[in-house]
Amino acid sequence: MVRLSWGVAEQRASVRYCRRQGDQFHLGIHFVPRERRRDERQPVSGPGTLQWVDRTGRQVSTDVNVVNVTDQGLQVEVPETIPDLELVKLSGSNSECLGWVRYCKRRRGAFVAGIELVRPAYDKDSLDYSE
């Protein structure tokens, strides 16, 4: 991995090939995309319970494993697919949070869902859930 700088701009890239042609060198460069997230993901591993109401009005609950978190959202491993834009509640041992499912993709025999938080997580024992 290399960093290419010009002026005040800087971009990460990897060199794919370097070939000499006479007295010059030709490089093949792959630019690494910049992270689009506002916050860096923090890897975690912890159990939780995800709940939502499906399209038929049935309340669904499933055990999940939280994979990573940011201030704006989190990623969980789930045993089944969850529709995009579904409003969900995640309960852990000490806290709960509400969020929207942004995506749910199959990965290694399970599903991974990205959840954008509606508001920060709150303490389960608190009576005041306001911001």
| CATH number of the structural domain 42-123 | 2.40.10.220
Task: Please report, for the chain, the start and end positions of each structural domain, with discontinuous segments joined by +.
Answer: 2-31, 42-123
Residue keyed to tokens 């949070």? 97
| Mean residue pLDDT across the chain | 84
Query: For the segment 101-129, what is each residue's pLDDT rounded down to a tens digit?
Result: 999 999 888 899 999 999 888 887 765 55
Q: Which of 44, 47, 46, 49 is nearest to 91 (CA)?
A: 49
**pTM for this entry:** 0.66
Query: For the segment 41-100, what is each residue's pLDDT rounded down to a tens digit?
Result: 788 889 999 999 988 899 999 999 999 998 899 999 999 999 888 999 999 888 899 999
Alpha carbon of 120 to those of 71, 81, 98, 103, 126: distances in Å?
7, 24, 8, 19, 14
Q: CB-hemisphere CA count at 13 Å for 27?
A: 8
How confident is residue 131, by pLDDT bands cut at 50, 70 and 90? Answer: very low
Is residue 75 within 8 Å of 90, Cβ to Cβ? no
